[in-house]
């Protein structure tokens, strides 16, 4: 924003200055305003501009009133709108910064103030003589308010109007031809030549027509109209009369033009030329940081290190300062092949220093990014975990580390770990992006983690049950002791073997201790807490805690419907930590062994389906379901297993296995719904096909045939989310047509 406020130093000096200027002015373009009925006959001051000469006293009065009653107030409001937008804007220094430290979406929300600017500007024009010196400046404010409201068409018309209405004129009032050699004009010039006299610079605002060109370029770039912006930039660069005062503004919009098209090196070059346009040192430091980022993106590490180094001397933001220091280390390439290791070691040493104690989460996060550049995934994950242990800079920084840990774990197919990291995210973080996608991943991974938990638990119980009895009891006793110790409970009391022996219960308030109050005695207090926990367990500090605990421990009937929001989403009721309680859970009888195997079979089926349908990992799905076929060939839902295996093998192009599975399904499960779906394309349980759904899937099939696979997959996911809920497996009809 280059709209500055001018002040008069003395009224007398102004009058003396005005005497040296001509006492006449060209008539401006009349403004047409629809008047209310009761004011139709009233003549506005702008409508009387032609009625009299523009004398020196009249000019002085008109300029003064227009300037201070209208332009000054409107310009102040415009700057306040920008200041509020900047205050609400928050940068993420770990990512490439936006070009400006405000968003047009935010300024557009301040519509009341921007409408007030429009009202002030239009009133200032209509209520005063059109020959005063502030009319073009008011029109520029009017256009700027349109731009900040994202009314780009209106802004374009206003800036274009300024270009034509305030173009240079001959003495007789006729316009000179713009951009042409006619009338003695230059064919290479479209700008207005500005007077360079000292009184003119002190006591008047430069003509706004040249500023309107810069605003018009901004308006084009806001709409991604790069060709129009480029042509205007080139015309102004080659214009011999384009004023030097706007060279920085022109460099700024050039940099923005390159920035929006990912031309990082050119964007950085022109941004460094526009640094003086920053309104304060903090904004200058921010642009220096952005220039360094752009040089880094372009691979120019020397200049990147140079501008990162400049940030610390200008910024007043400690977070930006620490990021600049860390980035200076990151782009340093003096270490040769061992650059990453040396730079990471520097950051680790920084983290151990007390003066950087409040920024350890940022330092470890930055070190992890360096390790990722070297494809050192495990080392990066270890550093990200360290970053999460320090929450000095809010949930935003911690969420970034957890999200990256989750994504890395998911890429490594460590699904349980990925679920735990997704579950650690604070979803109320306003900076968190793709919340719906994260929630969907968390739900799918929660289903996988829950079923893996069931399988591993039942396998472990069966393994313990298979031990010799004495070894099994010793193992359970050691396990109980270990678990109670982890939870801070004392060891389980051992029985003497006599049912008539009553154990002596130690007094909570022993009399043989020294004379001090119970709550001042740390030993008594800790023993009391341990006794309470051993009897009641971990109890919430709330009313009706028994009922709440019982409700929370209800085991759902369907394993596949586990709640994904728990860290271990198995729905398992919390077991009392005693030998008898744990030993009774072991499958030692044929009935309990069967129940355990049933749990494993159902969990393996749900796990395989989750791999295939939820995260589209057919390899993991086929491995799980093939293991289920091998371990439990008599599984009651084997037809569903074969159907899902058929889908995956067909998708992976293994036609032989798919054909064998289809044959096995038709021979062994001829009456199964899944066999009928494969042979007829219709789910018998869904009733008659939904015509709308059938038409939708046929259109998707046509997209597959045409080779538009990306669009077809996107449309299929959308259709599945709609029609799976209301009409069963209609999508299988199209699937059958596609895969057979």
| pLDDT reading at 56 higher than 90 | no
Give per-residue burial for 118-150: e unless 16+ CB within 10 Å, then b.
bebbbbbbbebbbbbbbbbbbbbbbbbbbbbbb
Spatial separation of the C-alpha atoms in residues 330 and 334, rounded to whole Å:
11
Spatial separation of the C-alpha atoms in residues 675 and 667, rounded to whole Å:
9
Average pLDDT over residues 74-87: 93
Cα dist. 630→602, 638, 674 in Å? 15, 11, 20
| pLDDT reading at 486 higher than 90 | no
According to the model, what pLDDT value does residue 380 have? 92
Please indicate whether residue 643 or residue 60 has the higher confidence score (pLDDT): 643
pLDDT digits (tens, 9 = 90+) for 294-336: 999 999 999 999 999 999 889 988 889 888 988 888 888 776 6
pLDDT digits (tens, 9 = 90+) for 187-213: 678 888 887 767 666 666 788 899 999
According to the model, what pLDDT value does residue 357 have? 86
Q: Token pair for residue 504?
A: 């002596």
Spatial separation of the C-alpha atoms in residues 580 and 593, rounded to whole Å:
18
Spatial separation of the C-alpha atoms in residues 453 and 572, rounded to whole Å:
10
Cα-Cα-Cα-Cα dihedral sign, residues 582, 588, 594, 600: positive
According to the model, what pLDDT value does residue 497 have? 43
First to last CA, the chain: 64
pLDDT digits (tens, 9 = 90+) for 525-549: 666 766 666 666 666 565 555 545 5
Q: Token pair for residue 86?
A: 């900047």
Q: Mean pLDDT lowest for which of 41-45, 121-125, 160-164, 193-197?
A: 41-45
Q: Which residue has the tokens 């780009």?
A: 152
Q: Which residue has the tokens 């990306």?
A: 710
Mean pLDDT for all residues in the chain = 79
Percent of the chain with pLDDT over 90: 32
The DSSP bridge partners found for residue 169 are 175
Q: Which residues, 6+ apart, have CB-to-CB distance to 29 below 8 Å?
A: 130, 161, 165
Q: Which residues, 6+ apart, have CB-to-CB distance to 582 below 8 Å?
A: 476, 479, 480, 575
Spatial separation of the C-alpha atoms in residues 59 and 663, rounded to whole Å:
98
Average pLDDT over residues 496-513: 49
According to the model, what pLDDT value does residue 556 have? 39
Q: Token pair for residue 40?
A: 């139709």
Spatial separation of the C-alpha atoms in residues 335 and 337, rounded to whole Å:
6
Give a three-class secondary structure readout of 152-184: HHHHHHHHHHHHHHCCCECCCCCECCCCCCHHH
Spatial separation of the C-alpha atoms in residues 306 and 289, rounded to whole Å:
10
According to the model, what pLDDT value does residue 712 have? 81
Spatial separation of the C-alpha atoms in residues 569 and 332, rounded to whole Å:
45
According to the model, what pLDDT value does residue 12 have? 36
Helices 339-352 and 360-373, axial angle in degrees (round to 10): 170
User: Using 50, 70 and 90 to split pLDDT, how confident is the model at 233?
Assistant: very high
According to the model, what pLDDT value does residue 384 have? 93
Of 703, 699, 697, 707, the residue nearest 736 (C-alpha): 697
| Contact status, residue 264 vs residue 255, Cβ threshold 8 Å | no
Q: Token pair for residue 561?
A: 């419907």
Spatial separation of the C-alpha atoms in residues 256 and 223, rounded to whole Å:
13
| Contact status, residue 71 vs residue 137, Cβ threshold 8 Å | yes
| Contact status, residue 390 vs residue 364, Cβ threshold 8 Å | yes
Q: Token pair for residue 285?
A: 């430091």
| Contact status, residue 165 vs residue 157, Cβ threshold 8 Å | no
Q: What is the DSSP letter of 95?
A: S
Spatial separation of the C-alpha atoms in residues 731 and 419, rounded to whole Å:
29
Spatial separation of the C-alpha atoms in residues 585 and 592, rounded to whole Å:
9
| pLDDT reading at 628 higher than 50 | yes
pLDDT digits (tens, 9 = 90+) for 551-591: 444 333 333 344 444 455 544 555 567 888 888 888 888 89
| Contact status, residue 126 vs residue 46, Cβ threshold 8 Å | yes
Q: Whats the size of the chain, residue-wise?
A: 740
Cα dist. 240→185, 189, 190, 194, 243 in Å? 12, 6, 9, 12, 9
**How much is the CA Rg of the chain, to the nearest whole Å?**
38
According to the model, what pLDDT value does residue 88 have? 87
Spatial separation of the C-alpha atoms in residues 19 and 3, rounded to whole Å:
26
Spatial separation of the C-alpha atoms in residues 237 and 192, rounded to whole Å:
14
Q: Token pair for residue 505?
A: 């219960």
Other C-beta atoms closer than 10 Å to the C-beta of 688 total 7
Please indicate whether residue 494 or residue 23 has the higher confidence score (pLDDT): 494
User: Using 50, 70 and 90 to split pLDDT, how confident is the model at 715?
Assistant: confident
| pLDDT reading at 95 higher than 60 | yes
Spatial separation of the C-alpha atoms in residues 582 and 578, rounded to whole Å:
6
| pLDDT reading at 656 higher than 80 | yes
Average pLDDT over residues 437-449: 91
pLDDT digits (tens, 9 = 90+) for 671-691: 888 888 877 766 666 655 566
Q: Phi and psi for 517 in degrees, rounded to 5?
A: -65, 150
| Contact status, residue 138 vs residue 123, Cβ threshold 8 Å | no
Q: Mean pLDDT lowest for which of 28-37, 197-206, 236-245?
A: 28-37
């Amino acid at each position: 924003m280059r709209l500055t406020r001018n002040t008069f130093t003395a009224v007398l000096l102004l009058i003396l200055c005005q005497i040296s200027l001509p006492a006449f002015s060209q008539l401006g373009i009349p403004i047409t305003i629809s008047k209310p009925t009761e004011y139709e006959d009233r003549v506005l001051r702008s409508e009387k501009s032609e009625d009299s000469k523009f004398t020196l006293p009249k000019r002085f009065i008109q300029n003064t009133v227009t300037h201070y009653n209208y332009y000054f107030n409107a310009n102040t409001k415009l700057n306040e709108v920008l200041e509020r937008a900047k205050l609400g804007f928050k940068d993420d220094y770990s990512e490439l910064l936006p070009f400006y430290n405000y968003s047009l979406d935010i300024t557009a929300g301040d519509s009341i103030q921007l409408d007030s600017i429009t009202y002030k500007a239009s009133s200032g024009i209509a209520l005063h003589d059109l020959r005063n010196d502030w009319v073009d400046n008011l029109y520029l404010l009017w256009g700027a308010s349109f731009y900040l409201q994202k009314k780009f068409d209106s802004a374009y018309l206003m800036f274009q109007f300024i270009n034509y209405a305030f173009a240079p004129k001959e003495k007789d009032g006729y316009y000179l031809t713009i951009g042409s050699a006619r009338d003695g004009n230059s064919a290479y010039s479209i700008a207005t030549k500005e007077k360079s006299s000292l009184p003119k610079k002190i006591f008047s605002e430069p003509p706004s027509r040249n500023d309107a060109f810069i605003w018009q370029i901004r308006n084009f770039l806001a709409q991604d109209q790069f060709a129009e912006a480029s042509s205007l930039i080139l015309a102004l660069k080659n214009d011999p009369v384009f004023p030097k005062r706007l060279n920085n503004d022109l460099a700024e919009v050039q940099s923005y033009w390159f920035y929006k098209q990912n031309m990082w090196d050119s964007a950085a070059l022109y941004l460094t030329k526009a640094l003086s346009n920053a309104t304060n040192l903090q904004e200058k430091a921010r642009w220096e940081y952005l220039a360094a980022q752009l040089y880094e993106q372009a691979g120019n590490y020397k200049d990147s290190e140079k501008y990162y180094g400049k940030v610390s001397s200008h910024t007043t933001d400690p977070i930006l300062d620490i990021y600049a220091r860390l980035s200076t280390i990151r782009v340093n390439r003096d270490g040769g092949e061992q650059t990453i290791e040396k730079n990471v070691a520097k950051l680790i040493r920084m983290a151990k220093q007390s003066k950087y104690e409040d920024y350890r989460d940022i330092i470890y996060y930055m070190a992890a990014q360096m390790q990722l550049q070297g494809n050192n995934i495990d080392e990066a994950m270890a550093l990200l975990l360290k970053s999460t242990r320090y929450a000095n800079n809010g949930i935003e920084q911690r969420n970034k580390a957890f999200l990256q840990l989750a994504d890395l774990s998911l890429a490594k197919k460590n699904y349980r770990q990925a679920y735990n990291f997704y579950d650690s995210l604070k979803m109320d973080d306003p900076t968190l992006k793709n919340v719906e996608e994260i929630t969907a991943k968390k739900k799918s991974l929660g289903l996988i983690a829950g079923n893996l938990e069931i399988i591993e638990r039942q396998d472990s119980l069966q393994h313990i049950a298979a031990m010799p009895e004495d070894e099994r009891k010793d193992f359970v006793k050691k396990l109980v002791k270990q678990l109670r110790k982890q939870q801070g409970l004392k060891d389980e009391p051992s029985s003497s073997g006599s049912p008539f022996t009553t154990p002596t219960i130690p007094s909570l308030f022993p009399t043989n201790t020294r004379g001090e109050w119970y709550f001042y005695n740390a030993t008594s207090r800790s023993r009391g807490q341990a006794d309470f926990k051993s009897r009641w367990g971990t109890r919430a500090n709330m009313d009706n805690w028994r009922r709440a605990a019982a409700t929370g421990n209800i085991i759902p009937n369907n394993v596949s419907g586990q709640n994904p929001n728990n860290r271990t989403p198995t729905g398992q009721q919390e077991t009392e930590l005693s030998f008898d309680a744990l030993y009774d859970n072991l499958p030692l009888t044929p009935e309990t062994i069967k129940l355990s195997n049933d749990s494993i079979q159902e969990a393996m089926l749900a796990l395989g389906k989750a791999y295939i349908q939820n995260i589209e990992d057919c390899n993991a799905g086929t491995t799980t379901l093939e293991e289920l076929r091998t371990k439990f060939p008599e599984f009651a839902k084997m037809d569903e297993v074969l159907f899902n295996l058929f889908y995956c093998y067909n998708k992976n192009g293994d036609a032989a296995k798919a054909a064998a599975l289809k044959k096995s399904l038709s021979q062994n499960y001829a009456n199964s719904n899944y066999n009928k779906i494969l042979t007829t394309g219709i789910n018998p349980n869904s009733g008659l096909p939904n015509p709308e759904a059938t038409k939708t899937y046929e259109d998707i099939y046509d997209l597959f045939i045409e080779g538009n696979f990306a669009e077809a997959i996107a449309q299929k996911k959308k259709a599945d989310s709609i029609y799976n809920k209301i009409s069963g497996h209609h999508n299988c009809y199209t699937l059958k047509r596609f895969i057979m």
